[in-house]
């Protein structure tokens, strides 16, 4: 499905990011992934995935993003797919929200996504070919008990994807979003048990999802099998 496709995954050492890297590699892609804090995991994943490359990068630093992507393009000539997965969350009641809390989530989840996309998409525009898959969230689209600034950042990602898909359609570049619901691990580790049970009560599947299940949808959208899908937000939430 992704044979000979070059894929860049941001946040490749996270719970979902690792699953996406493994799935892309399993489908034949050459995987490049960024990491920011977990060097040990990055090195281990790089060893396990044939032909992969771990790239240290703080996506909040626009100059560094441009430099890193430029160097990568110099080495491999082109990237076929960008998967914007890097994100942070924070348990913080709205009434206690400080500017630095809001800045952190917007800088990583929104501005970082925009910086990396801009750097990667420019060569795609010249080639008139490419795919962008953004990782959103059910937060921001449903009335869930989630941090307001996290929901804000993920709703922004969905809006960014829709507008970008429209702008880039003339260059044959597709942009879609995958919005997971409650997963077994990752950011779900900080969710109180009462909220987990409330989610499961309203979930048609009656269970949490897995990163591997989300990764399958991401790979589908990254591939030519989804060539008739553009500007979509695909919810992988068990049915909420």
Closest CA to 87 of 192, 6, 12, 190: 12
Reduced to 3 states (helix: H, G, I; strand: E, B; else coil), residue 30 is strand
- 3-state DSSP call for residue 227? coil
Q: Kindly give the pairing relationship between strand 30-35 and strand 6-9.
A: parallel
Catalytic residue (one of 15, 27, 150, 199)? 150
The closest of 38, 34, 69 to 53, measured between CA atoms, is 34
For residue 150, indicate whether it is catalytic: yes
Closest to 142 in 3D by CA, of 176, 180, 97: 180
As a whole number of angstroms, the distance between CA 237 and CA 240 comes to 6
CA–CA distance from 96 to each of 49, 102, 103, 109, 227 (Å)?
42, 11, 14, 20, 44
Tokens linked to 146 = 């989630």
Any idea which residues carry the catalytic annotation?
Answer: 150
């Amino acid at each position: 499905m992704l044979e000979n496709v070059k894929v860049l995954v941001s946040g490749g050492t996270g719970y979902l990011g690792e699953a996406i890297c493994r799935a892309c590699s399993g489908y034949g892609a050459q995987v490049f992934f960024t990491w920011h804090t977990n060097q040990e995991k990055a090195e281990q994943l790089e060893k396990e995935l044939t032909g992969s490359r771990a790239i240290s990068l703080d996506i909040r630093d626009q100059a560094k993003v441009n430099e890193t992507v430029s160097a990568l393009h110099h080495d491999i000539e082109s990237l076929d797919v960008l998967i914007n997965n890097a994100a942070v969350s924070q348990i913080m009641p709205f009434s206690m929200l400080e500017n630095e809390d809001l800045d952190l989530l917007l800088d990583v989840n929104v501005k970082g996504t925009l910086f990396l996309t801009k750097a990667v998409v420019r060569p795609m525009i010249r080639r008139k070919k490419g795919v962008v898959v953004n990782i959103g969230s059910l937060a921001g689209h449903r009335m869930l008990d989630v941090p307001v600034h996290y929901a804000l950042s993920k709703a922004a990602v969905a809006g960014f994807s829709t507008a970008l898909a429209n702008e880039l359609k003339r260059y044959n570049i597709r942009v879609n979003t995958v919005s997971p619901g409650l997963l077994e691990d990752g950011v779900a580790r900080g969710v109180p048990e009462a909220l987990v049970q409330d989610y499961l009560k309203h979930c048609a599947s009656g269970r949490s999802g897995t990163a591997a299940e989300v990764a399958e949808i991401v790979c589908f959208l990254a591939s030519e099998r989804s060539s008739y899908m553009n500007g979509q937000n695909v919810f992988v939430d068990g049915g909420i």
